Amino acid sequence: MESISGDEYELDDEQESPAHEEKIFVAVRLRPLNEKEITKNDLSDWECINKTTIVYKSNQSDRPMYPNAFTFDRVYGFDSTTKQLYDDGVKAIALSVLNGINSSIFAYGQTSSGKTYTMSGITEFAIADIYDYINRHNDREFVLKFSAIEIYNECVKDLLSSDGTQLRLLDDPEKGTVVEKLTEANLRDCNHLKELIYVSEAERQIGETALNEMSSRSHQILRLTVESSALDYRGGDSGRTLSATVSFVDLAGSERASQTLAAGTRLKEGCHINRSLLTLGTVIRKLSKGGNGHVPYRNSKLTRILQNSLGGNARTAILCTVCPAHSHAEQSRNTLLFGSCAKDVNTNAQVNVVMSDKALVKQLQQELARLERELKVSPPSNDSTSIIRDLEIQLEKMEEKMEELTEQRDLAESRLEHLMQVNGIDRNSLPWWVLLLHKEISSKEKNLEIYFAKSEEDKDTYEAVEPPRVGASLRIHGQESQRSPDENSPRIFLKEYSVPDPYQETDNMYQKIRINPEDIEKTSFTYDKIRINSEDDFNEDQHIDNTDYEFRIHPERGFKEDQHFEKTPFIEDRDFEEISINDDDVTNEEKAKISTLHDDVTSDDDVINTQESEDMNETKLEQSHSPCSSDSEGVINGFTRSKSCNEFASSAPPSDDEMVIESRNSNESEKDFSVIKQIIPKSKSEADVKTINLKEDTHNPLTIIDEKETENSIKSSNEGDVSDHNSPTDKPIRKLEDVFNDEREAEVKGDESGEVNNEVMAITPYKDWSMVFEKQRGDIIKLWDECNTPLIHRTYFFLLFKGEQSDSVYMEVELRRLAFLKNTSSLATSERALSRERIMLSKKLLKKYSSTQRDLIFRKWGIPLDSKHRRVQLSRLLWSKTNDIDHIKESADMVAKLVGIVELNQTPKELFGLSFLPTPDHIKTSFWKASISFT
Ligand SMILES: Nc1ncnc2c1ncn2[C@@H]1O[C@H](COP(=O)(O)OP(=O)(O)OP(=O)(O)O)[C@@H](O)[C@H]1O
């Protein structure tokens, strides 16, 4: 910017640099005493002691707080000339306009302090210099436009127009505030401008009376816009146009309204004058403090129009004119205080470059030519096209795979949910990390995320449940940090955790610790322990007993157990996929696969999936002291639980009994068991006979034990508890028992005769079965709602059991199961489980269908299409509490569609991991087995 302060004002590259921050240039000028003042001996109190400081000479006993010395960029005494003032600093600023930089020169001071005197001189010099520059630079094109406005009583008037109409201010997104319909005169030459200035000055004086010695109360703004073509570094036309405006602002007298001693119209004038000036003062004061917060530019016309010149894209000079007379001392001081403030204001001037259309076209043509040249040098190869296509195909496949995996995960989560629900496990009392492990393993993510939410569920179902209460307390490297302890929140402690710099992240949904696997690898992370105490074990006073649960983190797989961690609860997808199947239905290859799979994850005796392994397990059971020991929990009606799952049931501390499936461990309780036998259809001659124990007063109503144990139980029940079984309350149980005992007899006979029993022979002698069926179905539906039975179960049940006589046993057991659940399960837990499942189903819907299909379904279900939470709304509609069979039918179809189970032949295969195509009977049995295993 400095380069333009001489006689030459050449454009250089440096000046085109981005916004240039600088302070407002402030100069003070003392006018000489006029005759009147001299006559009145109203002498000067001010003296310029050097080029930058002006001091007040008189005694200030009346105003001890006022400063008596003021420093500015420059100060000028009585004998100074306007030319001096112009040359010293104002010229450089004013002529910035030639370099495409906006500039503004203000005159501020009280009436008759010399504002107009100074500004007219400055304007003349500046215009003369501008023309001089233009005349010396014939190689550049210049266009000059001149405008003049007056702001009087907050009205804007065009001084170049004779009609005197008031002009409106408009907001232009690029230029800021502009004056509408303002006359812009094209200047012919310097003299033309002088003429215009004269005219505008004459206009301004119209209406002023000869008596009005106090000069004008209006603000005058003269503007000269210079558009110039910018040269390139070779001196040629660069195609750019520079456009900038220099404003010469002669403000109205700065005295206050009260001092005008006027009334009526004059007072109004005074108010307006001050409104503009007061706003100017406020704006300057705010800007001088850094401009933080609201700057009230829009409070007056003056500040709106001058917004750019005040702390904006302009270089600015303020010339403070001062009356030296003693009688004006206070006003003079106010002027100097205003100037002091203005000194601290920063502006951000920048070169305003406008690209002409012609230049733009030229530039684009050049760019096009360059690209064409490049293309000629290296044409795109066919290879790259085919690579892109391959990549796209790969991407598509990966997306499909991802979707598949996501669905698998959702399904597994849903089963876990189901498992917990039917076992009456409250999510809150369930160790939260079971869910975490499950998620971790099923998602196969390398990054470990430990959520400190109340439960994992909260995160995913945020639309349906309250945000989680974050109240976790965690300990890393032995340092504990407590965060808002909350009774209901899980307390989580990470101990002996040697991963370096695990970092915490917090957001309003949940807290988590993320562990970068790279960090784990770097430190040869080997099975560091993380011990977790469940909420119940937490005691604020004592320190934590952290011996309850442990699990480990494996650098590759995340969580993994090994022999040191036998107590580690460990749940994964496969735990729920496993299902006992007939040998005939499994190929050897498949068996080998399954066995490898299990070897990979658990120890040999953990999971018994095939018949051989089941046999092995039974051998073990025979050896155990109690047939009901925890080891025996792994086999449930041919369905197996992995060891981890069993341990999850058996290893919980006594205080956590509600979060595990209670094991039968007392002989006394066995006596209460009613025994139902179920025959699993087999194609081999050797039928696999299993028994189901019904126990009313445990959390686990249906527990499966081995055949040997069953016989004992049957014996025990027959011998010792006959009266119990005959009691009226036990009637349904008796009936079922009878049925099954009959079946057993029938089966034994069948075995003896070498026949294969492929059916569940549970035929109840109902006289009018269809009526009974309808009633039972109604009761079941009611109970489903009351127990918040998962939709998948309902759907399967509804679609599978349609009223055949052989369904009666299933109907009865379902009724009993639900009655039990109704009495024992926590409604809140079920509700959460349901809500989760609903969300899951709805997610599936959203994923599976095209948007048009979705819209059709939504419409059919009466869900507003534009609804933000339509997924949740949809899920609420499914299986809403109703006994209306038509509605249920529709819902069943809907749910079936949602989870992709329209084809029943395929569904159980998917759902239960069957590797064969089942017959309808298989489906029913499989479904039933799965239901019971969940129970
Ligand atoms: N530096 C100066 N040297 C000589 N005379 C001056 C000087 N400054 C101002 N004057 C004279 O003082 C009188 C008042 O000046 P001027 O009209 O410029 O004041 P003003 O601040 O513009 O007043 P108003 O606010 O009424 O417009 C004029 O007659 C002017 O010629």
More confident residue, 800 or 744: 800
Residue 882 has pLDDT above 90, yes or no: no
Q: Which two tokens stand for residue 870?
A: 């339509």
Q: How much is the pLDDT for 400?
A: 76
Q: Percent of the chain, pLDDT > 90? A: 7
* Largest distance between two CA atoms of the chain: 146
8 A C-beta contact, residue 113 and residue 321: yes
DSSP state of 325: B
Tell me the CA–centroid distance for residue 872 and ligand 1, in Å.
77
Residue 792 has pLDDT above 60, yes or no: yes
Bridge pairing between strands 25-30 and 74-76: parallel
Q: Which residues contact 548 (CB under 8 A, 6 or more apart)?
A: 531, 532, 533, 534, 537, 653
Question: Ranked by mean pLDDT, which of 434-443, 614-623, 884-893 comes out on top?
Answer: 884-893
Q: How much is the pLDDT for 480?
A: 33
CA separation (Å) from 789 to 282, 612, 797, 835? 69, 34, 11, 11
8 A C-beta contact, residue 497 and residue 474: no
Q: How much is the pLDDT for 299?
A: 85
8 A C-beta contact, residue 513 and residue 536: no
Q: 530-589: per-residue pLDDT in tens?
A: 333 333 333 333 333 332 233 333 333 333 333 233 332 322 322 222 222 233 333 444
| Residue environment code for 273-284, b if the CB has 16+ CB neighbours within 10 A, otherwise e | bbbbbbbbbbbb
Ligand 1 atom closest to the CA of 251, numbered from 1? 25
Question: Ranked by mean pLDDT, which of 455-459, 587-591, 850-854 comes out on top?
Answer: 850-854
Q: What is the mean pLDDT of residues 180-205?
A: 66
- Virtual torsion, Cα 452, 453, 456, 462, nearest 10 deg: -140
* Cα–Cα dist 561/856, whole Å: 48
CA separation (Å) from 567 to 45, 150, 378, 663? 95, 89, 65, 16
* Cα–Cα dist 437/432, whole Å: 9
Atom 14 in ligand 1: which residue has the minimum CA distance? 112
DSSP state of 253: P
Question: Ranked by mean pLDDT, which of 7-11, 712-716, 734-738, 750-754 comes out on top?
Answer: 7-11
Residue 642 has pLDDT above 60, yes or no: no
* Cα–Cα dist 663/676, whole Å: 18
Ligand 1 atom closest to the CA of 214, numbered from 1? 26
Mean pLDDT over the full length of the chain = 59
More confident residue, 183 or 149: 149
Q: Which two tokens stand for residue 672?
A: 């209460």
Ligand 1 pocket at CB < 6 A: 31-32, 109, 111-117, 214-216, 253, 321
* Cα–Cα dist 445/557, whole Å: 8
* Cα–Cα dist 128/134, whole Å: 10
User: Which segments of 135-218 are extended strands (E)?
Assistant: 142-152, 155-158, 166-167, 169-172, 176-179, 185-186
Ligand 1 test: best mutation among 83, 117, 151, 335, most atoms within 8 Å of CB? 117
Residue type, 417: E
* Cα–Cα dist 205/214, whole Å: 12
Q: How much is the pLDDT for 228?
A: 80
Q: How much is the pLDDT for 321?
A: 94
Q: Which residues are annotated as a binding site?
A: 109-116
188 SS3 class: coil
Question: Ranked by mean pLDDT, which of 104-113, 397-406, 485-494, 913-922 comes out on top?
Answer: 104-113
Residue 739 has pLDDT above 70, yes or no: no
Residue 878 has pLDDT above 90, yes or no: no
Q: How much is the pLDDT for 925?
A: 64
Position 205 confidence tier, pLDDT thresholds 50, 70, 90: low
Q: What is the mean pLDDT of residues 775-779?
A: 86
Q: Which two tokens stand for residue 17?
A: 């640099």
Residue 644 has pLDDT above 60, yes or no: no
Ligand 1 atom closest to the CA of 109, numbered from 1? 21
Tell me the CA–centroid distance for residue 233 and ligand 1, in Å.
46
Q: Which two tokens stand for residue 623?
A: 């050896």
Tell me the CA–centroid distance for residue 202 and ligand 1, in Å.
16
More confident residue, 736 or 204: 204
Q: What is the mean pLDDT of residues 812-827?
A: 73
Tell me the CA–centroid distance for residue 31 and ligand 1, in Å.
8
Question: Domains of the chain (ranges plus CATH)?
Answer: 20-355 (3.40.850.10), 408-657 (no CATH), 769-902 (no CATH)
Sign of torsion over alpha carbons 637, 643, 648, 650: positive
Residue 51 has pLDDT above 50, yes or no: yes
- Altogether, the residues listed in the chain come to a count of 935
Q: 214-252: per-residue pLDDT in tens?
A: 446 788 899 888 888 766 666 666 667 788 899 999 998
Position 69 confidence tier, pLDDT thresholds 50, 70, 90: confident
User: ipTM beyond 0.90?
Assistant: yes
Q: Which residues contact 314 (CB under 8 A, 6 or more apart)?
A: 101, 102, 103, 104, 247, 308, 347, 349
Position 685 confidence tier, pLDDT thresholds 50, 70, 90: very low
Q: Which residues are annotated as a binding site for ATP?
A: 109-116
8 A C-beta contact, residue 347 and residue 312: yes
Q: 750-768: per-residue pLDDT in tens?
A: 433 433 333 333 344 555 7
Sign of torsion over alpha carbons 660, 661, 664, 668: positive
Ligand 1 test: best mutation among 28, 29, 30, 31, most atoms within 8 Å of CB? 31
Ligand 1 atom closest to the CA of 111, numbered from 1? 25
What φ, ψ does residue 281 adopt, rounded to 5°?
-60, -45
8 A C-beta contact, residue 80 and residue 225: no
More confident residue, 553 or 306: 306
Q: How much is the pLDDT for 414?
A: 66
* Cα–Cα dist 530/532, whole Å: 6
* Cα–Cα dist 874/841, whole Å: 9
Q: Which two tokens stand for residue 650?
A: 């058996």
8 A C-beta contact, residue 46 and residue 2: no
Tell me the CA–centroid distance for residue 249 and ligand 1, in Å.
15
* Cα–Cα dist 319/895, whole Å: 81
Q: How much is the pLDDT for 832?
A: 58
8 A C-beta contact, residue 479 and residue 460: no
Q: Is 436 exposed, middle or buried (0-12, 13-18, 19+ CB in 10 A)?
A: buried
* Cα–Cα dist 873/267, whole Å: 66
Ligand 1 atom closest to the CA of 30, numbered from 1? 1
DSSP class per residue in 489-520: SPP----S---S--EEEE-SS-EEEEE-HHHH
* Cα–Cα dist 470/511, whole Å: 7
* Cα–Cα dist 338/817, whole Å: 87
Q: Could you give the residue ranges of the DSSP H alpha helices within 721-789? A: 722-726, 731-752, 769-787
Q: How much is the pLDDT for 541?
A: 34
Position 139 confidence tier, pLDDT thresholds 50, 70, 90: confident
Tell me the CA–centroid distance for residue 106 and ligand 1, in Å.
15
Q: How much is the pLDDT for 727?
A: 36
| Residue environment code for 690-716, b if the CB has 16+ CB neighbours within 10 A, otherwise e | bbbbbbbebbbbbbbbbeebbebbbeb
Tell me the CA–centroid distance for residue 192 and ligand 1, in Å.
25
C-alpha atoms less than 13 angstroms from C-alpha of 775 in its C-beta half-sphere: 7
Q: How much is the pLDDT for 119?
A: 92
Put simply, whether the predicted model's pTM sits higher than 0.80 gets the answer no
Ligand 1 atom closest to the CA of 29, numbered from 1? 1
